[in-house]
Amino acid sequence: MTPQSSERPIILTLLIAVQLICTAFFVVDVIFDATEAGWNPVTDPEAFLEGSMVLCLAAAIWVELRFLLRLLRHNAHLEQQISLATGAFHEIVEAQFSAWGLTGSERDVAMFTLKGMTIPEIAELRGSAEGTVKSHLNAIYRKAGLSGRGALLSHFIEELMSGADPQDPPRPGPTRMQMTSRQVSGITTK
């Protein structure tokens, strides 16, 4: 969640609190005016107007509270969905790494590659030479039957977008990105 979006409920809560204080003040004022002047809304249009405004303000606060609660529920739902998607992606990646028979080092390098890190960055994080990272990447691409970084990332994006269940075995064969143009042209869209 961004800092800006996390501040919205706080700002709304503060605005509602200020409005509640104002409403309480106006309710006390209307009650004081009514008891002092023997309030009769038919004969005192000003008192009727003040009372109506207080009711409108209270109604607006009620609507804002409902909006705030709905916003907070929606936010919690989105965070839960992001958490589920993150977990599903991790499960898909781990299942595919196992199916490819990647070693622990190859898994680390593959994961860093999926995160978009460069070879020098991966080498620095792992405390190894760039040549070692390149060797691991070549082994990963060979075991996976993929042509490079783009194909590796594309493979996992395709798995997520297809709605694959992480419990299902990984799909063998080339991804759409690896198919020849003749194979792709034969694919029909739904």
Contacts of 38 (CB under 8 A, 6+ apart): none
Q: What is the pLDDT of residue 103?
A: 93
pTM of the model: 0.47
Q: What is the pLDDT of residue 146?
A: 92
Q: Is 41 in contact with 48 (CB distance < 8 Å)? A: yes
Q: What is the pLDDT of residue 158?
A: 82
Measured between alpha carbons, how far is 47 from 26 in angstroms, rounded to an integer? 11
First to last CA, the chain: 34
Measured between alpha carbons, how far is 146 from 138 in angstroms, rounded to an integer? 10
Q: What is the pLDDT of residue 139?
A: 95
**pLDDT, mean of each 10-residue run, the chain (190 residues):** 59 86 87 72 72 88 88 85 76 88 94 93 94 95 92 84 56 45 40
Q: What is the pLDDT of residue 131?
A: 95
The ranges assigned to domains in the chain are: 3-82, 101-185
Measured between alpha carbons, how far is 147 from 160 in angstroms, rounded to an integer? 20
| Multiple choice CATH, 101-185, 1.10.260.40, 3.10.150.10, 1.10.10.10, 3.40.190.10 | 1.10.10.10
- Write a three-state SS string for 96-118: HHHHHCCCHHHHHHHHHHHCCCC
Instruction: Read off the tokens for 50.
Output: 């003040």
Instruction: Read off the tokens for 30.
Output: 């209307």
Rg of the chain taking only CA atoms, in angstroms: 31
Q: What is the pLDDT of residue 176?
A: 41
